Amino acid sequence: MISDAMEKSLFKQLNDEFYSSYLYLAMSAYCNHLDFNGAANWLKLQYEEEQGHATRIYNYLIEQGAHVELQAIPQPPSSFGTILEVFNSSLHHEQKMTEKLNNLSDQALKEKDHATYNLLQWFVNEQVEEESTVGDIISKLKLVKEDGYGLLMIDNELGNRTLV
């Protein structure tokens, strides 16, 4: 059984994960509007991955006997600027999520809640991958700048992403 404080923190993280998915879907829609269909595909798959993250926390809360009450999800932006700015926004968001998950892990350790800490380590490790992957995309986009052929090549590469 988890403490009331941990339960409340996990409810907040659940909502943050749902917001993440919503944000990535908004980014995908924006990229579709710009005709960056590969980036739109990549971001839509990221939306699905974030939904899975939310479901993982939801299931854990249910297993811990929590009465889950879903909260409203804030509306994400509808415009993100250039394709580079889209991915910069993604990286900034992932860095904020990493900070939140680290703080939540600290709370679990402080409470000696090893089950929750164990759950959160999966997320902490996932964040390393998330930030690294987006960072690689940003590096490529910076390399090609506004070169149409380069952007087309990167967009095609992003379109090849599949969920594992």
Q: What is Dmax (Cα atoms) for the chain?
A: 55
pLDDT in tens, 130-156: 999 999 999 999 999 999 999 999 999
| Model pLDDT, residue 25 | 98
In this predicted structure, the answer to whether residue 164 has a pLDDT above a threshold of 80 is no
Q: What is the pLDDT of residues 94-125, one digit of tens each?
A: 999 999 999 999 999 999 999 999 999 999 99
CB 19 within 8 A of CB 74: yes
**Assigned domain for 49 exists:** yes
Count structural domains, the chain: 1
Residue 1 pLDDT:
83
- In the numeric block, which tokens belong to residue 67? 């009465």
54 assigned to some structural domain: yes
% pLDDT > 70, the chain: 100
Q: Do residues 18 and 73 make contact, with C-beta atoms less than 8 angstroms apart?
A: yes
Mean pLDDT, all residues of the chain: 97
Q: Is residue 42 part of a domain?
A: yes
Could you tell me the residue range of the domain that residue 75 belongs to? Answer: 4-159
Structural domain contains residue 164: no
Task: State the helix-helix crossing angle for 148-159 and 37-63, rounded to 10 degrees.
Answer: 40
> Does residue 116 sit within a domain?
yes
Question: In whole angstroms, what is the distance from residue 23 CA to residue 38 CA?
Answer: 17
Per-residue pLDDT of 65-82, as tens digits, reads 999 999 999 999 999 999
Cβ atoms of 66 and 2 within 8 Å: the answer is yes
Give a yes or no: residue 103 inside a domain. yes
Of 143, 140, 31, 46, whose CA–CA distance to 86 is shortest? Answer: 31
Q: What is the CATH number of the domain that holds 29?
A: 1.20.1260.10
Q: Checking phi first, is residue 123 left (phi over 0); if not, alpha (psi -120 to 50) or beta?
A: alpha
Residue pair 107/8 in contact (Cβ under 8 Å)? The answer is no
